[in-house]
Structure 1
Amino acid sequence: NGDVAGHARALSELARVQEYAGRPEESLRTCREAVELARRAEDTRLQAALYLRLADTLERLGDPAAAQLHRGAAQRMLGEEPQESDAAEPGPEQEAFEPEHDANACEIRSTSAKD
């Protein structure tokens, strides 16, 4: 179980590197493989974090509907309610906090320094 989860984490790192290298389609495939491994390892937090990475990548590939589905799935896995109504009218504390950038979701998402 630990080995499978470790392999999933390694694949998530590879997906991050692929995305940094400008290969989002490859990153998407690698991340989906990592999700499957996290599911087999029964590591819910890792699986949720990987869904957030998938959502970010899908967003970059121009598929916001699929991205939102993955974000919703991640929030449900983490026991959070999707915050659609809050997103429409963010309060001061919500402007700084976005569920898809939760620090507890593992360091597997990418942010581009080029943006």
Structure 2
Amino acid sequence: MSVNYRQDLPPAGGFEAVKYKRNLPFRGPGALAILAGVTAFCSFGIYRVGMGNIERRELKRESTWARIHLVPLLLAEGDRAAYQDGQRAAAVEADIMKDVKGWVPRQSVYNNPRYREL
């Protein structure tokens, strides 16, 4: 008895290639692009800080010169206010001590030469 076996063989042209590589989609820019972006961003930040320093220095210079130019005016105003306060105090003292004979407003009460200033 003869049995005809049919052997299982690969298809004509062979099997297709085994796909063993991972098929990952593109996930963003590469390392060089990220490095270039960070470098550009930091450079822009340093530039802005430098410009801010220049502006702050200019504002400080302007404030200093304004203060220098205002000092004489402020001193004159302070002197005027002190003079007016002194005149007002002398008037109040004269009004309070009007009944005391020989009282001179704003004169030192220390008449002993030992306590006088040099």
Please tell me the TM-score bracket, short chain as reference: under 0.3
- Please identify the structure whose Cα radius of gyration is greater: 2
Which of 1 and 2 has higher RCO (CA within 8 Å, sep 6+)? 1
User: What is the TM-score of this pair, normalised by structure 1?
Assistant: 0.24
